[in-house]
């Protein structure tokens, strides 16, 4: 358990609720949540657990998520709810807890507090629900449909009025693609192999996705203007070239907006212990210095 601080003078009750987190992955080697997350984050967390510091204010949404599950216990239901399941894969015990299995419709549902941009779907949701579906299959439950019940924490009524593609209400059911069970099993095995390697001391660096890399973007702007007329991502060189060509033809400028590793910069609890992030910061500092030291050109 990391050290929980209270830098913003939150009420004791909130801080204690965060500190006394009852989360328990049971007698397993890895949980579904950890399996789909970065092996490096998990390894560094295990190694430096006692030295990690987290402010209680940063755990409020996680706390709210737990509160939601407690409230839902009030609902009298004949469905299967909040059960933790276990299965052994390649010598490791995998465990996962699902929110709700509707037996009649064979639908597995998970509740999420999230931001509205996630209404388009989320790869981590797809992985999590498909692995839970696989775990349920190991226990004799057939699941045909996967759904997220998304509760948007940043929903705006005004925006919903203006933009038809924006979620039209604060809560939305989102269907999640269903993978074939054999492909899910292969995916689980791949992830377990990665986590095993990381635990054994092999360097398994975080991917761009795990670092929440925003990607470099190029914006078309008028000289002296600030507002971007158009923004493209750097994933397709042809699109970037077309934007540069358009800027030349119209006398506009192209503004390069370098991508950020959002998780490393602001959200990763182990960034202080991470060799990958420290190496990247040293590279960036060196590049900044080279640019500052470079002689000015006419
Ligand atoms: S700081 Fe970034 S690279 Fe390092 S473990 Fe955290 S997410 Fe991964």
In a domain? residue 99: yes
Per-residue confidence (pLDDT) for residue 257, from 0 to 100: 87
Minimum-distance ligand 1 atom for the alpha carbon of 212: 7
In a domain? residue 61: yes
Q: Is 268 in the pocket of ligand 1 (CB under 6 A)?
A: yes
Q: Is 112 in the pocket of ligand 1 (CB under 6 A)?
A: no
Q: How confident is the model at residue 76 (pLDDT cuts 50, 70, 90)?
A: low
The arithmetic mean of pLDDT across residues 85-107, rounded, is 94
Q: At what angle do helices 39-48 and 181-199 cross, to 10 degrees?
A: 40
- Ligand 1 center–CA 18 separation, angstroms: 23
Give DSSP secondary structure letters for 171-218. Answer: EEEEEEPPPPHHHHHHHHHHHHHHHHHHHTT---PPPTTTTTB---EE
Is it the case that residue 241 has pLDDT exceeding 70?
Answer: yes
Question: What's the pTM?
Answer: 0.87
- Whether the CB-CB separation of 287 and 217 falls below 8 Å is answered with no
Q: How confident is the model at residue 68 (pLDDT cuts 50, 70, 90)?
A: confident
Minimum-distance ligand 1 atom for the alpha carbon of 211: 7
Is it the case that residue 295 has pLDDT exceeding 70?
Answer: no
In a domain? residue 211: no
Q: Residue 22's Cα: distance from chain center in Å?
A: 22
Q: Which of 34, 212, 270 to mutate to test the pocket of ligand 1 (most atoms within 8 A of CB)?
A: 270
Q: How confident is the model at residue 27 (pLDDT cuts 50, 70, 90)?
A: confident
For 204-229, the pLDDT digits (tens) are: 999 999 999 999 899 999 998 878 99
Is it the case that residue 284 has pLDDT exceeding 50?
Answer: yes
For residues 112-123, one letter each, b for 16 or more C-beta atoms within 10 angstroms of the residue's C-beta and e for the rest, the string is bebebebbeebe
- Ligand 1 center–CA 271 separation, angstroms: 6
For 1-19, the pLDDT digits (tens) are: 789 999 999 999 999 998 8
Whether residues 223 and 178 fall in one domain? no
Over pLDDT 90: what percentage of the chain? 69
Whether residues 183 and 240 fall in one domain? no
In a domain? residue 204: no
Whether residues 146 and 249 fall in one domain? no
Whether residues 130 and 54 fall in one domain? yes
Residue closest via CA to ligand 1's atom 2 equals 264
For 257-276, the pLDDT digits (tens) are: 888 999 999 999 999 999 99
The arithmetic mean of pLDDT across residues 155-181, rounded, is 96
Q: Is 116 in the pocket of ligand 1 (CB under 6 A)?
A: no
**Boundary of a domain, candidates 166, 199, 232:** 199
**Total domains, the chain:** 2
**Quick one: which H or E segment has residue 237?**
helix 237-250
Per-residue confidence (pLDDT) for residue 298, from 0 to 100: 43
Whether residues 20 and 157 fall in one domain? yes
Q: Is 211 in the pocket of ligand 1 (CB under 6 A)?
A: yes
Per-residue confidence (pLDDT) for residue 235, from 0 to 100: 77
Average pLDDT taken over every residue of the chain: 91
Whether residues 21 and 89 fall in one domain? yes
**Boundary of a domain, candidates 169, 199, 229:** 199
Mapped onto helix, strand or coil, the DSSP state of residue 262 is: helix
How many other β-carbons are positioned within 10 Å of the β-carbon of residue 195?
Answer: 22
Residue 62's domain comprises 3-199
Per-residue confidence (pLDDT) for residue 65, from 0 to 100: 84
**Boundary of a domain, candidates 143, 168, 199:** 199
Whether residues 145 and 9 fall in one domain? yes
- Ligand 1 center–CA 43 separation, angstroms: 11
The arithmetic mean of pLDDT across residues 155-180, rounded, is 96
Whether residues 26 and 174 fall in one domain? yes
């Amino acid at each position: 358990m990391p050290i929980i601080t209270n830098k913003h003078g939150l009420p004791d009750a909130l801080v204690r609720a965060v500190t006394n987190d009852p989360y328990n992955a049971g007698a397993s080697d890895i949980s579904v949540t950890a399996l789909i997350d970065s092996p490096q984050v998990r390894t560094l967390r295990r190694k430096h657990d006692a030295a990690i510091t987290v402010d209680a204010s940063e755990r409020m949404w996680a706390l709210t998520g737990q509160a939601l599950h407690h409230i839902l216990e009030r609902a009298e239901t004949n469905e299967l709810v909040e059960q933790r399941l276990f299965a052994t894969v390649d010598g490791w015990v995998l465990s996962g807890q699902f929110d709700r299995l509707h037996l009649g419709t064979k639908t597995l549902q998970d509740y999420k507090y999230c931001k509205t941009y996630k209404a388009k779907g989320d790869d981590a949701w797809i992985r999590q629900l498909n692995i839970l579906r696989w775990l349920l299959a190991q226990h004799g439950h057939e699941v045909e449909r996967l759904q997220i019940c998304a509760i948007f924490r940043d929903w705006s009524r005004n925006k919903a009025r203006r933009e038809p593609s924006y979620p039209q209400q604060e809560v939305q059911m989102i269907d999640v693609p269903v993978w074939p069970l054999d492909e899910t099993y292969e995916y689980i095995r791949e992830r377990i192999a990665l986590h095993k390697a990381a635990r054994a001391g092999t360097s398994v660096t975080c991917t761009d996705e795990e670092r929440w890399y925003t990607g470099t973007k190029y914006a078309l702007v008028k000289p002296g203007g600030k507002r971007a007329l158009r923004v493209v991502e750097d994933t397709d060189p042809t699109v970037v070239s077309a934007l540069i060509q358009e800027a030349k033809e119209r006398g506009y400028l192209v503004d390069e907006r370098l991508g950020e590793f959002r998780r490393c910069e602001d959200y990763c609890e182990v960034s202080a212990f991470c060799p990958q992030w420290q190496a990247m910061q040293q590279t960036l500092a060196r590049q900044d210095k080279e640019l500052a030291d470079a002689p000015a050109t006419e």
